[in-house]
Amino acid sequence: MTTDRGIPDALVSALRDARHVCVLTGAGVSAESGVPTFREAQDGLWSRYDPQDLATPEAFLADPALVWRWYRWRRELVADAQPNPGHHAIARSGELVPRLSLVTQNVDNLHQRAGSKDVVEFHGNLFDDRCYADGSRHVGDDSLDVPTCPDCGGHLRPGVVWFGEAIPEEALNESCAAAVDCDVFLSVGTSSVVYPAAGLANLAKDNGALVVEINPSPTMSASYFDIAIAEKSGVILPELVESLSL
Ligand code: BV8
């Protein structure tokens, strides 16, 4: 059975009865804001680079200027973007359920700009800088050249989590606790290939949550979810919130 908006009745009633809803978002949630998804082919100067190769400590150590310029390009892309109806629906849902945990793999700050509070930034934030040498945090610098740490003179780097780097402990603990405790887990706009983020759905399901995937291109993991909705987040999330507020 589905609602007249193409949302399964089972999901609407589960959300209405839920004490705690956990939402995990990936790059697909920002696609309708014009931000290319992480694995989408990059354009222009960056088309010949695989993001997965650039988002590593090895790439930065090998060529700090190249990696710094890539992130500076992404900051400019994102700075011009606006939150889309999917971001706003997630922010609104925080007022409609007793407890909402939002865990994002995205580093673009768009959830915060849409009004979401207490966003767990699983992979850090594009607009923060960190000293590569001493780990100190600094306000984002938009200089063309790799900035240096005012404390130790080392290179500053973007405050994101690179492949092969550990997830910030607080973010990991908070996300796992939310996945274990939630009644409904929504995995939205992610290809579910990056771990440990992709493992949160397993944790939720193993602890009795209804697990739902929202992605216009069903992922390899789609059959694992109790419900898979093949629709854009900017379309389905506002409908879901609308169904909740009826
Ligand atoms: C860790 C920040 C351990 C940077 C990112 C071998 C060697 C080393 C590590 C590993 C290895 N094998 C596995 C690993 C682990 C590795 C990993 O998972 N690799 C994968 C690729 C196999 N993980 C790690 O390295 C992690 N750390 O394991 O540490 C450790 C422990 C202790 C001590 C030391 C180490 C760290 C991973 C973090 C990497 N950083 N981002 C940056 O942004 O530059 S990950 C990057 O991928 C982005 O954050 C992105 O969000 C994330 C996941 O991608 P998605 O968000 O899913 O985006 P994608 O483009 O893939 O998909 C978009 C989806 O949206 C698509 O499905 C599309 O259909 C859909 N979509 C499109 N439009 C819409 C839509 N959906 C809805 N609506 C729409 N309109």
pLDDT tens-digit readout, 155-170 = 999 999 999 999 999 9
Question: Which residue has 């998804």 as its token pair?
Answer: 37
Q: What is the pLDDT of residue 182?
A: 98
Mean pLDDT of 3-20: 87
Q: Give me the percent of the chain exceeding a pLDDT of 70.
A: 97
Q: Is the pLDDT of residue 8 over 80?
A: yes
Q: Is the pLDDT of residue 44 over 90?
A: no
Q: Is the pLDDT of residue 212 over 80?
A: yes
Mean pLDDT of 222-232: 94
Q: What is the pLDDT of residue 139?
A: 87
Q: What token pair was written down for 93?
A: 């849902």
Q: Whose CA is nearest to atom 36 of ligand 1?
A: 163
Q: Whose CA is nearest to atom 41 of ligand 1?
A: 123
Distance CA 63, CA 155 (A): 11
Q: Give me ligand 1 centre to Cα 98, in Å.
A: 29
Q: Is the pLDDT of residue 5 over 70?
A: no
Question: Which residue has 């093949």 as its token pair?
Answer: 230
Helices (H), strands (E): how many in the chain? 10, 9
Catalytic residues: 123
User: According to DSSP H, which parts of the chain are helical?
Assistant: 9-17, 28-31, 51-54, 57-62, 64-79, 85-93, 110-113, 169-181, 200-206, 233-245
The DSSP symbol for 8 reads: B
Contact partners, residue 104, CB within 8 Å, separation at least 6:
24, 25, 26, 29, 111, 119, 120, 121, 122, 123
Q: Give me the percent of the chain exceeding a pLDDT of 90.
A: 84
Contact partners, residue 199, CB within 8 Å, separation at least 6:
none
Q: What is the pLDDT of residue 1?
A: 44
Mean pLDDT of 118-132: 96
Under a CB-based contact definition with an 8 Å cutoff, are residues 212 and 184 in contact? Answer: yes
Substitution site in 157, 163, 236 for ligand 1 pocket (most atoms within 8 Å of beta carbon): 163
Q: Give me ligand 1 centre to Cα 53, in Å.
A: 12
171 C-beta neighbours (distance < 10 Å), count = 18
Query: Residues 65-106: pLDDT tens digits?
Result: 999 999 999 999 999 999 999 999 999 999 999 999 999 999
pTM: 0.95
Residue 31 Cβ < 6 Å to ligand 1: yes
Under a CB-based contact definition with an 8 Å cutoff, are residues 114 and 87 in contact? Answer: yes
Q: Give me ligand 1 centre to Cα 55, in Å.
A: 10
Q: Is the pLDDT of residue 42 over 60?
A: yes
- Label residue 58 by pLDDT band (50, 70, 90): very high
- Label residue 4 by pLDDT band (50, 70, 90): low
